[in-house]
Amino acid sequence: MVNLTNQSSRGNNSPNVSGDNNSFEFGTKDKLANEVDTMLNVITLIPEIAREQGISADQIEHPKDFLTKINKRFESYTNELKKKFTELHLLYKNSYDEARRNAGVDEFGFEEMCSYLRKLSLEILSKNDNNPIQSLKTLCSLFEDKFSKGTDKNFSAGAIEYFLYKQLVECNVFPNPISE
């Protein structure tokens, strides 16, 4: 019999295996649930954070061309962005997929969230001299601050970071300019 319990005390994705010869306890279920909950909360917090920053939704249709964005627009950051996304993708893809399935937001609601995220991310990118790495850190900090001040302080910083990197790939973070 296999029982699922809390995350490993090591704080990584390694299972916390314990038990006697007849049972093993793996510490991944609660961690996955926490990551999914964090991403679900990020989805609902985006419009709130944008409005707090004085940012309205972006109703402009931006080109969705990730390769142009990463290879030309952010050329000096390409390797670092790709490496970080790959690392995070291996750890958080399943949590992201689960969060999207259970978001309770229809496609219109998700697009509305993305419209706030596009404009919020462009404002932050501008304030950080078009440095996407620093801007992603700033975005993560906004959410981490919101979580740490809220009632649920047990959030996954990595899940927040992956959500934002995934939206970078989807062109909802630092969307391409219309002229491209």
**Into how many domains does the chain fold?**
1
Q: Has this prediction a pTM greater than 0.85? A: no
Q: Is residue 142 a part of any domain in this protein?
A: yes
Q: Is residue 77 a part of any domain in this protein?
A: yes
Q: Token match 């991944």: residue?
A: 28
Distance (Å, rounded) from C-alpha 27 to C-alpha 163?
Answer: 22
Residue pLDDT, tens place only, 118-150? 999 999 999 999 999 999 999 999 999 999 987
Q: Is residue 176 a part of any domain in this protein?
A: no
Joined together, the tokens standing for residue 107 give 């496609």
Residue pLDDT, tens place only, 35-92? 999 999 998 889 888 889 888 887 788 889 999 999 999 999 999 999 999 999 999 9
Q: Is residue 76 a part of any domain in this protein?
A: yes
Residue-by-residue DSSP string for the chain: -EEE-SPPTT-SSS---B--TT-EEETTHHHHHHHHHHHHHHHHHHHHHHHHTT-----------HHHIIIIITGGGHHHHHHHHHHHHHHHHHHHHHHHHTS---HHHHHHHHHHHHHHHHHHHHHTTT-HHHHHHHHHHHHHHHHHHSS-----HHHHHHHHHHHHHTT-SSPPPTT-
Q: Is residue 24 a part of any domain in this protein?
A: no
The residue range of the domain holding 129 is 30-169
